[in-house]
Each structure stands twice: as C-alpha cells, then as structure tokens.
Structure 1
Amino acid sequence: MEPKTTLSNRSPLNKTFLVDAFSLVSGAALILAAVPLAALVNAAATPLITPVMLKALGAGLLIWGIFHLSAARNGGPVTASARISIAGDMLWQVGSLALLLAAYASLSAAGIALVVIGMIGVADFLFFKLRGLAQERGAIA
C-alpha cells in the first residue's frame, strides 16, 4: 500500500503548483465581473481593455489553473510541466510590462495597480517554481 500523499509530504514545487491553481478563482472572477472590472481599469472615454478581453483572459486563467491542478496530481509536476509553467509566468511578466508601457495613459490608477499587483503575485509564483525545480533537480543529481 502506497503512503497517502498529504500537503505536508509534498515537494515545494508541487505545493506551488497547487497554490497556483488559484488562477481558477481569478479566471472565474474576470469572467463573471468583466463589465465592472473593465470600467474600473480604464481611464479613457474609449476603453482600451474591453469586457471581452477580460473574459478571454479569464478563460485563459481557468485553463492555467486546470493545468496546474492536473500537473500536481500524484506528487507531480514533471520537469516539462514545470518548465512550461515557468515560461508562462515569464510571458505574463513581459505581457504585463508591455501593457503598462503601451497603455499607461489609458489605464486608471486602479488599472495600473491591478496590473502591478498581478505582476508581483506572478513573480512570487515564478520564484517558488524556479526554487522548487532547482531543489528537485539537485535531489536527482
């Protein structure tokens, strides 16, 4: 009989993947509150960020959360999943920075704050994924 996997005996990378499934909550919030969020983040009369864009981002975050939950099953993730996740977090950072640079004047203060908060949160996940992957690779070597 295999030992039961509990949160306390999971690897740091596995725990990070489980917590990154928070993307499911974020994605659902973006989909359900797309209209008021679009009004909140846009400063200009002609909105740059539309409810449709927020719903698409929300759908992407739902997929991201499902990916992390499925990769964390049975003590995972495997190295390939970790690399995909790390690359995705890096792309999020680049995309967020590009959004701030290109649309700064069109975003409200709340919009700028939400993008920056998102960048900080993703940077934390990125740090723990890199650290967890390095620990697992060190344990294998």
Structure 2
Amino acid sequence: MGETEAAREYAAEAAALADVTTDADLAGQCESLVRLAWSEVFLDDCAAAQRHSERGVEIARRTGRPFALAQLLLTGAYARLTRGRLREALEWADESVAVARELGGAELLGISRAIRALILMQVRP
C-alpha cells in the first residue's frame, strides 16, 4: 500500500470518528477539524473537507475560537475553490482574512491573503 492510500485510510478513519463525536466534545478540539479538513483537501476529497470545515466553523463561532475559525474558513475557502464554487470561496476567504487581521498573526494573515489572491485570480481573470 502506498503512502497516499494509507493517508486516505487514516483520513477516512479520522472523519468517521469526527462524524460521531458531538459538537460539545469537539468544542475543545476545533484544531482537529482543521487538520482533518486540510488532509481531505490534499487527498482530493474536497466535498468532505467542505463539510468538516462548515461544521468546524459553526463550533468555533459558538465557542469563541477565533484562531481555529480563521483556519477553518481558509480551509473551507480552498475546498470551495477546488469545487468551482468561486463566489462562496471568496466570501470564506474574505472572512478568514478579516479574522486573521483581528488576531494579528502575520503567518495566518499571509496565508489567508495568498489563498484569497488565488481565488481572485479565478473570479476576476
């Protein structure tokens, strides 16, 4: 079994666990959804990445987790970009930039702006 296939199996296992875990239990583990969603993006399962980023955004908003929120918005934006949902991708990226700016983290703001620029190149060629 190649490394990519093993990664897909691990991601599927993690997704199955996340899907049966309550929002209350995930509230303190929003970063787990960030990692899961990015893994799904890079394994070309952007529908799952979008679903997990949406759930994570809802949890992060309710529980006041702005750093996780910015990352989940960014992951959701990228997943939407790869699925051709450009307007939604731009909305999610815009919000990721806004949250990252409020947090004051240069790295998070930089990657949020970079992915927003990537989306803009598709929206406004």
TM exceeding 0.5: no
More helix by share: 2
Q: TM-score range by the shorter chain?
A: 0.3 to 0.5
TM-score, length basis structure 2: 0.38
TM-score, length basis structure 1: 0.34
